[in-house]
């Protein structure tokens, strides 16, 4: 059973044209083309009239270049060159790249007074946390999504989820943060500050002395003090983190959100995609379909791998016969080195072989290609069978090909057999990919799919992104550039 027969192609244009679609989340394992897919969707939606912002997490400079922007940062930047596609006036496209630390700083500055914000921003533990604490990037992507939605400047937000070990990290980030903030360790650190006065000091001196001593040895006394200072300063903001995380999570469950799972036709990527499909269903989040990037195709699919290999085998024995024949010794040896040429030559045809290249280069100017120059003012007629140059010429065609002709025939056969083997390898890749796709379909026949062809290069401009968008809209394989 194929994917097309099970659920049909993914209808991308109706999805991006629907004004009720406000958020599209591209998710999946790392390295399957999420970023390019998100950018291509943004370009196509904008050129069909939507006001779009693409939020990417990929720091690769090539994405900014393909959008015609010098660099991407935490501020949405207008993409020039958006043109109407003929269905109506063009919209707008903005793009931005998540700056995790800057987003965290903006949250602190927006939800704390100036003095408390300065204390938090200067805290060493906060600086480490905001720069790369586990799960921070996923949570900050959720925060930035909430900020963009609240601004209401765009009617479509396309999100490229962070690259991570597991695609499920993006959905787990809000809950993990909530668990961290509600954990016993955080509550224990916050309690003394809340109690205040002598009671707080008594609690610190008696109740926490053993714990702080142990943690001080494990973490270092200064680090523990930095953590306590950070937690105390952040205490009033913890509720805001939880509230916004819950609100963003509910936003992802809303009907105006559509998830696109992005994968490649490989076992690990499709296994991750299957896990994500199941997780989205469990969390009651709206799944639009699967985008399958880097799908291989062939313009000669009727020639099977078995037939191509059989044809190559037919050509190769003829090639071996040429190798064993005396007429091809010179041409075969010339493929290895100049020294091996000498080892296969006979005294009679040594000079004739040295002039082969001259024959080729000067055949346009010589009345007869068999005339050769032996130096010292002597000329002769080159016999096709390798006889002495002084032998009289023959008018009839030679029984055996000349070394050059044998070499030419050998090269043609070798190239033909090589091309047939390459085609066989391509057809084997196609068969393997189809098995992977059929396996996914057997598990999730309800998932609609769009295919994007595997192509020789990366996307470097809007033209390439448009080509990807056209393939996405077609829902089938085609020609274009590779999604990365």
385 and 244 both lie in a single domain? no
Separation of alpha carbons 432 and 444, rounded Å: 19
Domain encompassing residue 244: 3-300+433-474
With contact defined as beta carbons under 8 Å apart, do 3 and 437 qualify?
yes
Residues 22 and 148 in one domain: yes
For residue 226, give the nearest of 324, 92, 122, 131 by alpha carbon.
122
Looking at residue 22, its pLDDT comes to: 98
Residue 483 lies in a domain: no
Q: What is the pLDDT of residue 190?
A: 58
317, 319, 314, 277: which is closest to 444 by C-alpha?
277
Question: Looking at the predicted structure, is the pLDDT value of residue 189 above 50?
Answer: yes
Comparing C-alpha atoms, which of 57, 13, 63 is closest to residue 39?
63
Q: Which residues touch 451 (CB under 8 Å, ≥6 apart)?
A: 9, 292, 295, 471, 475, 476, 477
pLDDT of residue 295: 92
pLDDT (average), residues 270-281: 91
The encoded tokens of residue 222 equal 């200064």
Q: Are 276 and 216 contained in the same domain? A: yes
Residue keyed to tokens 């003929």: 86
Is 225:216 a contact under the CB 8 Å cutoff?
Answer: no
Residue 355, by phi and psi: left (phi above 0), alpha (psi -120 to 50) or beta? alpha
The SS3 assignment for 78 reads strand
pLDDT at 186: 62
- The closest alpha carbon to 175, from 250, 109, 108, belongs to 250
Question: Are 149 and 175 within one domain?
Answer: yes
Asked if 306 and 429 touch (Cβ cutoff 8 Å), the reply is: no
pTM of the model: 0.71
Q: What is the DSSP string of 411-429?
A: HHHHHHHHHHHHHHHHHHH
Residue 54 DSSP SS3: strand
Q: How far apart are CA 203 and CA 187, in angstroms?
A: 13
> What is the distance in angstroms between the CA of the first residue and the CA of the last residue of the chain?
28
Domain match, 377 and 461 both: no
Same domain, 34 and 64: yes
CA angle at 27 for the pair 467 and 18, rounded to the nearest 5°: 60
CATH number of residue 110's parent domain: 3.40.50.300
- 227 domain residue, yes or no: yes
**What is the per-residue pLDDT for 180?**
66
pLDDT tens per residue, range 412-463: 888 888 888 998 898 999 999 999 999 998 999 999 999 999 877 788 899 9
Do 351 and 284 belong to one domain? no
Say how far apart CA 270 and CA 439 lie, in whole Å: 9
All residues at 6 or more sequence positions from 399 whose CB lies less than 8 Å from its CB, including other chains: 385
Q: Which of 421, 443, 466 lies at the terminal end of a domain, its last residue?
A: 421
pLDDT at 125: 81
Residues 6+ apart with CB under 8 A from 453: 294, 295, 296, 297, 471, 477, 478, 479, 480
Which candidate, 331, 335, 351, places its Cα nearest to that of 408?
A: 331
Same domain, residue pair 61 and 175: yes
- Residue 416 backbone zone (phi > 0: left; psi -120 to 50: alpha; other: beta): alpha
Q: Is residue 262 part of a domain?
A: yes
Q: 258 versus 245: which is more confidently predicted? A: 258
Q: Is 114 exposed, middle or buried (0-12, 13-18, 19+ CB in 10 A)?
A: exposed
| Structure-model confidence comparison of residues 339 and 256, the more confident one | 256
Report the Cα 350 to chain-centroid distance in Å: 56
443 and 417 share one domain: no
Clarify whether residues 441 and 458 are in a common domain: yes
| Span 166-173, average pLDDT | 70
256 domain residue, yes or no: yes
Report d(CA 285, CA 277) in Å as an integer. Answer: 10
Question: Is residue 484 situated within a structural domain?
Answer: no
Q: Each residue of 325-372: pLDDT tens digit? A: 434 444 444 444 444 444 444 444 444 444 344 333 433 443 444 444
Count how many domains the chain has.
Answer: 2
Whether residues 415 and 443 fall in one domain: no
pLDDT of residue 26: 94
Closest CA to 289 of 122, 139, 452: 452
Q: How far apart are CA 230 and CA 128, in angstroms?
A: 11
Q: Which residue among 401, 421, 441 closes a domain?
A: 421
Query: Looking at residue 139, what DSSP letter applies?
Result: H
Is the pLDDT at 241 greater than 70? The verdict is yes
**Would 482 be classed as within a structural domain?**
no
Question: Do 241 and 349 belong together in one domain?
Answer: no
Look-up: residue for tokens 């509550």?
Answer: 187
The alpha carbon dihedral of 379, 383, 388, 392 has a sign of negative
Paired with 372 in beta bridges are: 380
The string of pLDDT tens digits covering residues 32-51 is 999 999 999 999 999 999 99
At 371, list the tokens: 């005339």
> Is 249 a domain residue?
yes
Please tell me which residue, 371 or 249, carries the higher pLDDT value: 249
Does any domain span residue 448?
yes
pLDDT of 203 reads 44
């Amino acid at each position: 059973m194929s994917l097309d027969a099970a659920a049909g192609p993914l209808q991308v244009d109706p999805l991006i044209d629907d004004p009720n679609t406000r958020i599209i989340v591209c998710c999946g394992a790392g390295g399957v083309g999420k970023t390019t897919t998100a950018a291509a969707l943004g370009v196509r939606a904008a050129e069909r009239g939507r006001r779009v912002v693409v939020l990417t997490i990929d720091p690769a400079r090539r994405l900014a270049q393909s959008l015609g922007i010098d660099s991407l940062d935490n501020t949405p930047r207008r993409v020039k060159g958006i043109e109407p596609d003929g269905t109506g006036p063009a919209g707008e496209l903005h793009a931005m790249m998540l700056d995790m630390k800057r987003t965290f700083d903006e949250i602190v500055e927006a939800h704390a007074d100036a003095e408390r914000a300065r204390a938090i921003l200067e805290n060493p533990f906060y600086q480490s946390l905001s720069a790369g604490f586990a799960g921070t990037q996923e949570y900050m992507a959720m925060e930035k999504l909430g900020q963009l939605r609240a601004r209401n400047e765009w009617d479509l937000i396309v999100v490229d989820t962070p690259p991570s070990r597991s695609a499920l990290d993006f959905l787990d980030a809000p809950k993990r943060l909530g668990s961290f903030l509600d954990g016993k360790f955080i509550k224990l650190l916050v309690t003394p500050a809340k109690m205040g006065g002598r009671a707080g000091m008594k609690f610190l001196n008696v109740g926490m002395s053993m714990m702080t001593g142990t943690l001080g040895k494990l973490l270092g006394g200064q680090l523990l003090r930095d953590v306590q200072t950070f937690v105390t300063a952040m205490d009033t903001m913890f509720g805001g983190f939880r509230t916004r995380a819950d609100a963003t999570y509910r936003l992802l469950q809303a009907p105006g959100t559509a998830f696109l799972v992005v994968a490649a036709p490989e076992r690990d990527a499709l296994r991750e995609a299957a896990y994500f499909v199941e997780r989205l269903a469990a969390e009651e989040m709206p799944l639009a379909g699967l985008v399958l990037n880097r799908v291989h195709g062939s313009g000669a699919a009727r020639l099977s791998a078995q037939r191509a290999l059989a044809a190559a085998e037919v050509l190769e024995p003829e090639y071996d016969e040429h190798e064993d024949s005396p007429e091809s010794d010179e041409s075969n040896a010339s493929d290895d080195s100049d020294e091996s040429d000498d080892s296969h030559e006979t005294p009679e045809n040594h000079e004739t072989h040295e002039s082969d290249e001259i024959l080729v280069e000067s055949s346009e100017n010589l009345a007869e290609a068999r005339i050769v120059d032996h130096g010292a003012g002597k000329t002769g007629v080159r016999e096709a069978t390798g006889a002495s140059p002084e032998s009289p010429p023959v008018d009839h065609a030679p029984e055996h090909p000349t070394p050059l002709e044998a070499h030419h025939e050998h090269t043609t056969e070798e190239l033909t057999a090589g091309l047939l083997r390459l085609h066989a390898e391509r057809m084997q890749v196609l068969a393997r990919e189809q098995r992977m796709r059929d396996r996914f379909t057997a598990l999730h026949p309800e998932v609609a799919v769009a295919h994007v062809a595997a192509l020789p290069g990366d996307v470097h401009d809007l033209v390439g992104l448009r080509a990807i968008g056209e393939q996405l809209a077609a829902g089938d394989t085609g020609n274009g550039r590779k999604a990365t």
